[in-house]
């Protein structure tokens, strides 16, 4: 294991290497990074011990792993999925965004601090450091472009070109098609609680608020119905405009991403 490289940031420390095009990781350090440990306090010193039985219970398809073993990238992500905690999510992000791409492209991982150190020895590391800095710059530019385009792209597969107004029940179906689990009744409740529909009981209940009308998110469909006694009555139904459909789908998707 002498050819392992140590990768670390302010939260994690893990050793890995590239072998036959495959990234291999020290399973003990992966387990600790994901929180598969038990802690004991002896005379004021805290010791971490990997819970090997738990780790191996999540990897039944491979031989039992132990201290000193290496596991491939897919098994690292499987353990991270099983850990299912905030620490595991941050560890996965770090591996996927920084460590793995850097290993595959350069055979090394360099933090900002180690880049500065590398520049002090240009004969051996200047090209590697330059390539890595260029890669990070391109990634930052790409991420900025994606972030700027995201609000326009969120609703690309739904009703982007919709010119027709729909009932709130139809809007709930559109939301479900875009991965938002909400039915008609809960959507009505959400619209009332968030100031888009009137929540006060009475004639105006469930009709658009002035704010919604000013934003052109709703329109009111009026319909005259003849009663059996010969009199007429007018019903008013809120309908979500094309602009409103785009607005609400983007709003729900943005809230979902922020969770």
Q: Where are the domains of the chain?
A: 1-107, 110-153, 166-258
- 16-28 per-position pLDDT tens digit: 787 777 778 899 9
Greater confidence (89 vs 199) lies with: 199
pLDDT at position 147 over 90: no
pLDDT band at residue 161 using 50, 70 and 90 as cut-offs? very low
Please give the backbone phi and psi of residue 65, each rounded to the nearest 5 degrees, phi first.
-95, 155
- Each residue of 103-129: pLDDT tens digit? 656 555 545 555 455 445 544 445 555
Lowest average pLDDT, out of 142-151, 218-227, 231-240, goes to 142-151
- Among candidate residues 149, 144, 161, 155, the one with its CA nearest the CA of residue 251: 155
Whether the per-residue pLDDT at 188 is higher than 90: the answer is: yes
Average pLDDT, integer, range 58-81: 84
Can you tell me the mean pLDDT for 74-90? 77
Sheet of 70-72: strand order equals 5-8, 13-19, 22-26, 70-72
More confident residue, 31 or 87: 31
Q: What is the DSSP letter of 24?
A: E
């Amino acid at each position: 294991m002498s050819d392992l490289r140590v990768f670390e940031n302010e939260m994690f420390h893990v050793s890995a290497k590239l072998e036959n095009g495959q990234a291999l990781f020290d399973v003990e350090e992966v387990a600790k990074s994901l929180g598969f440990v038990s802690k004991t306090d002896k005379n004021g010193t805290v010791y971490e011990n990997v819970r090997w039985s738990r780790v191996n219970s999540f990897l039944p398809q491979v031989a039992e792993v132990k201290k000193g073993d290496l596991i491939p990238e897919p098994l690292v992500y499987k353990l991270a999925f099983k850990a299912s905690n905030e620490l595991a999510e941050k560890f996965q992000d770090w591996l996927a965004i920084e460590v793995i791409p850097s290993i595959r492209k350069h055979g090394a991982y360099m933090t900002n601090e180690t880049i500065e150190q590398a520049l002090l020895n240009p004969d051996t590391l200047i090209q590697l450091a330059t390539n890595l800095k260029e890669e990070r710059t391109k990634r930052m530019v790409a991420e900025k472009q994606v972030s700027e385009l995201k609000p326009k792209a969120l609703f690309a597969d739904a009703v982007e070109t919709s010119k027709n107004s729909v009932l709130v029940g139809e809007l709930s179906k559109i939301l479900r098609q875009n991965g938002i689990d909400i039915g008609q009744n809960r959507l009505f409740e959400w619209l009332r609680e968030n100031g888009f529909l009137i929540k006060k009981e009475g004639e105006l209940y469930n009709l658009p608020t002035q704010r919604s009308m000013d934003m052109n998110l709703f329109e009111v469909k009026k319909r005259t119905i003849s009663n059996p006694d010969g009199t007429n009555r007018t019903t008013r139904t809120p309908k979500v405009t094309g602009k409103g459909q785009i607005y609400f789908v983007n709003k729900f998707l943005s809230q979902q991403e922020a969770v």
